[in-house]
Amino acid sequence: MAPDSPSANRGDTGASADRVEAALARVESWFDDAGCPGASVALTDGSEVLAAIGFGERTLDPSAPATADTRYAVGSVSKPVTALAVLTLADRDRIDVVDPVSAYLSYFEGAPGDPITVAELLSHTSGMPNDDLAFAAGDLDGWDDFRAFVDGTLDRRRTDGDRFLYYNSGYAVLAHLVESVSGTDFESFVEREVFDPLGMDGTTYDSSVLGDPSADVMCPYVTEDGEFREAPVSDNPVLSSDVLRGPGGLIASVTDLARFIQAHIEGGSSVDDASLDRMREPLATRKRLVDGTEFTYGYGWEIRPFGTDALVGHGGNTGASGAYVGFLEDEGIGIAIACNGVADPGGPARDALALAAGHDPDSVDPVRSIERRVRALTGRYKTPSGNHRATVTEDGARLNVEFGGEVEGFEIRLLPTDLASHCCRFTDVDCVESTTDAEFFTADESVELLFEGMLFRRVGEPRGDGSAEA
């Protein structure tokens, strides 16, 4: 659904104008194929919103356009906001993040192992695994029910070493902690200490705004049989449960989210700069890629390498809307994307940031780098005698290898296990008894495949049908 006349607010960016336009074009291209009714994007540096634009429709019946100021339910993009609220209390010596949570609230008192700390909840390192709170919250009536829900999962805690386990309930507990320590409700505290100082005037946790036909707000949608169906707020705990405000209840426009990003890029706002810096200090490894690249997590932010820069960001999904916010630490450029529907805007957001910074997205995104490395191994191979041949083709994250020649043909499916050197190791996903089944050796333009003691050398591109020659 391409936008006929997107609602836009584009700042005068001087020499950066071409890059900003390229970034917006990438988002528009994603939107055309994303399968969501509407989306909005804002690009920012540390001082101003460079461009903000809406695509498609925020609501289908009646039809209304998505704009730069449309408010969306942004799911886990809420977590950096909650983390900042907690650190605001810490900076005022109202709490200490190294303290056990039980020093402030009666949570986790029966958990095995050492006491769970505030810092561990902020960084998802408490050892408590995902408990499907996003699905269970609809049946919980307030904090007492929630506390009983958490108590019922304490025996699942992992105490066998440091590990990152994404734990929504931890951020719900943090929101309750803010209420308990501050003596005010969570939304009022965040509004006073975060939204007002940063000028996020339209941001709220009040999901009733999603039902206001006169407001510039999204309507949540899911897709059924290729058609968009309105998803009632009351049926979605992420949108309707007060318990989920801390981990996922934020409702904001991309322009407001851009103001939040600006504070992290530039500092100097009335929000404490030390708190903002503290949030992006890497504390845990969230993901380790097959080439050894690590995505880390701080207090409410994911940090990943991005070329020579670092990308600090977070995504969110409610099941009927999605969002992503992020910024480049050195370049000082940030982005906020939100949509109604089930599309994931994280990929196009990262591409757009790369383009805005003047980089090829494929050259700075570590995931793209791995995909490119794997793709470079495709081709037609044969043994020195020519009696055995193989064709290597790409299939998503895998390589398919079809063998033929003087032997009966067969096919294997390979996943990479090590791409960190000139020797790329793969495992056959259908062979459970071994872990390294194929090796590719690269040197200059030469590529060799070693499989079951037999050496193949690449001799050309795959045939059009992807099959090995007879």
CATH number of the domain at 431, please: 2.40.128.210
Q: Is the pTM of the predicted complex or chain greater than 0.85?
A: yes
Assigned domain for 173 exists? yes
Specify whether the backbone of 354 is left (phi greater than 0), alpha (psi in -120 to 50) or beta. alpha
Assigned domain for 296 exists? yes
Residue 2: per-residue pLDDT? 39
Question: Within this chain, do residues 285 and 388 fall inside the same structural domain, yes or no?
Answer: no
Question: Within this chain, do residues 175 and 315 fall inside the same structural domain, yes or no?
Answer: yes
The domain that holds 334 is classified in CATH as 3.40.710.10
Question: Within this chain, do residues 46 and 69 fall inside the same structural domain, yes or no?
Answer: yes
Question: Within this chain, do residues 314 and 426 fall inside the same structural domain, yes or no?
Answer: no
Q: Which two tokens stand for residue 184?
A: 């005010």
Assigned domain for 180 exists? yes
What residue numbers bound the domain in which 242 lies?
1-375
Average pLDDT score over residue span 237-261: 96
Question: Within this chain, do residues 174 and 107 fall inside the same structural domain, yes or no?
Answer: yes
Question: Within this chain, do residues 1 and 92 fall inside the same structural domain, yes or no?
Answer: yes
Does the pLDDT at position 7 exceed 90? no
Strand-pair category, 221-224 with 71-73: unpaired
Residue 10: per-residue pLDDT? 44
- Point out the domain boundary residue: 375, 410, 437: 375
- Point out the domain boundary residue: 329, 344, 375: 375
Residue 470: per-residue pLDDT? 41
Question: Within this chain, do residues 317 and 445 fall inside the same structural domain, yes or no?
Answer: no
Does the pLDDT at position 111 exceed 90? yes
Q: Note whether 61 and 205 are within 8 A (CB).
A: no
Assigned domain for 18 exists? yes
Percent of the chain predicted with pLDDT > 90: 81
pLDDT range class, residue 161, cuts 50, 70, 90? confident
Assigned domain for 430 exists? yes
Question: Within this chain, do residues 321 and 429 fall inside the same structural domain, yes or no?
Answer: no
Strand partners, 52: 9, 42
Question: Within this chain, do residues 243 and 332 fall inside the same structural domain, yes or no?
Answer: yes
Distances, alpha carbon 109 to alpha carbons 141, 151, 163, in Å: 21, 9, 20
Q: pLDDT higher for 407 or 429?
A: 429
Among 164-168, 232-236, 358-362, 465-469, which is the least confidently predicted range?
Answer: 465-469
Closest CA to 67 of 328, 340, 249: 340
Query: Residue 71 is which amino acid?
Result: R
Torsion sign over Cα 230, 236, 239, 241:
positive
Strand partners, 42: 52, 336
Question: Within this chain, do residues 50 and 93 fall inside the same structural domain, yes or no?
Answer: yes
Query: Count of alpha carbons within 13 Å of 448, Cβ hemisphere only?
Result: 12
- Point out the domain boundary residue: 344, 375, 406: 375
Cα gap 232→238, rounded to integer Å: 12
Phi, psi of 296 (to 5 degrees): -110, 175
Assigned domain for 260 exists? yes
Question: Within this chain, do residues 94 and 147 fall inside the same structural domain, yes or no?
Answer: yes
Q: How many domains does the chain have?
A: 2
Question: Within this chain, do residues 139 and 234 fall inside the same structural domain, yes or no?
Answer: yes
> Residue 174 is inside which H or E element, if any?
helix 168-182
Assigned domain for 336 exists? yes
Provide the 8-state DSSP code for 89: H
Assigned domain for 466 exists? no
